[in-house]
Amino acid sequence: MRNPATRGAVGELAELVLPWLPTEDLAAAASACRALRAAASAVTAGRAADAAHGLEPLPIPFDNLVDCKPYAYFLYTPFSLTPSAASPRAQPWGRTWERPLGPTWPPSDLGGFPSAGCACPQGACGGARCPCADPEAQTVGSEAEVGMGMGSLRECGEGCPCGPSCGNRRTQRGITVRLRVMRHRKKGWGLHAAEVLRHGRFVCEYAGELLTTEEARKRQRLYDELASVGKLSPALIVIREHLPSGKACLRVNIDATKVGNAARFINHSCDGGNLHPVLVRSSGSLLPRLCFFAARDINEGEELTFSYGDARVRPKGLPCFCGSLCCSGVLPSEET
Question: For residue range 271-281, what is the model confidence (pLDDT) as tens digits?
Answer: 889 999 999 98
Rounded Cα–Cα distance for residues 174 and 165 (Å): 12
Q: How confident is the model at residue 145 (pLDDT cuts 50, 70, 90)?
A: very low
b/e map 115-131, b = 16+ CB within 10 Å: eebbebeeeebbeeebb
Rounded Cα–Cα distance for residues 141 and 25 (Å): 43
Position 311, amino acid: A
Total Cβ atoms within 10 A of residue 276: 24
Query: For residue 136, is pLDDT > 70?
Result: no
The predicted-structure confidence for 228-256, as pLDDT tens digits, reads as follows: 777 788 889 988 877 667 666 788 999 99
Length of the chain as a residue count: 336
Rounded Cα–Cα distance for residues 129 and 140 (Å): 17
Q: DSSP letter at 173? A: S
Which range, 101-110, 119-128, 183-192, 282-291, is most confident? 183-192
Q: How confident is the model at residue 331 (pLDDT cuts 50, 70, 90)?
A: confident
Q: What is the mean pLDDT of residues 295-316?
A: 83
- DSSP for 203-270 reads EEE---EEE-HHHHHHHHHHHHHHHHTTS----EEEEEEE-TTSS-EEEEEEE-SSEE-GGGGPEE-T
Rounded Cα–Cα distance for residues 289 and 148 (Å): 18
Rounded Cα–Cα distance for residues 70 and 30 (Å): 15
Question: What is the structure's pLDDT at 74?
Answer: 94
Q: What is the mean pLDDT of residues 30-54?
A: 91
Task: Answer whether 154's CB lies under 8 Å from 133's CB.
Answer: yes
Q: What percent of the chain has pLDDT over 90?
A: 42
Query: For residue 1, is pLDDT > 50?
Result: no
pTM of the shown model: 0.87
Query: For residue 190, is pLDDT > 90?
Result: yes
Position 270, amino acid: C
Sequence-ordered alpha helix ranges (H) in the chain: 4-17, 23-30, 34-49, 135-138, 213-228
Q: How many helices (H) and strands (E) does the chain have?
A: 5, 14
Rounded Cα–Cα distance for residues 91 and 47 (Å): 12
Task: Answer whether 332's CB lies under 8 Å from 236's CB.
Answer: no
CATH architecture of structural domain 108-313: Beta Complex (2.170)
Q: What interhelical angle do 4-17 and 34-49 show, nearest 10?
A: 30
User: Which has the closest alpha carbon to 315: 335, 336, 291, 286?
Assistant: 335
> Distance between the two ends of the chain, CA-based, in angstroms?
55
Q: What is the mean pLDDT of residues 90-108?
A: 66
Q: Are strands 289-294 and 305-306 parallel, antiparallel or unpaired?
A: unpaired
Q: What percent of the chain has pLDDT over 70?
A: 77
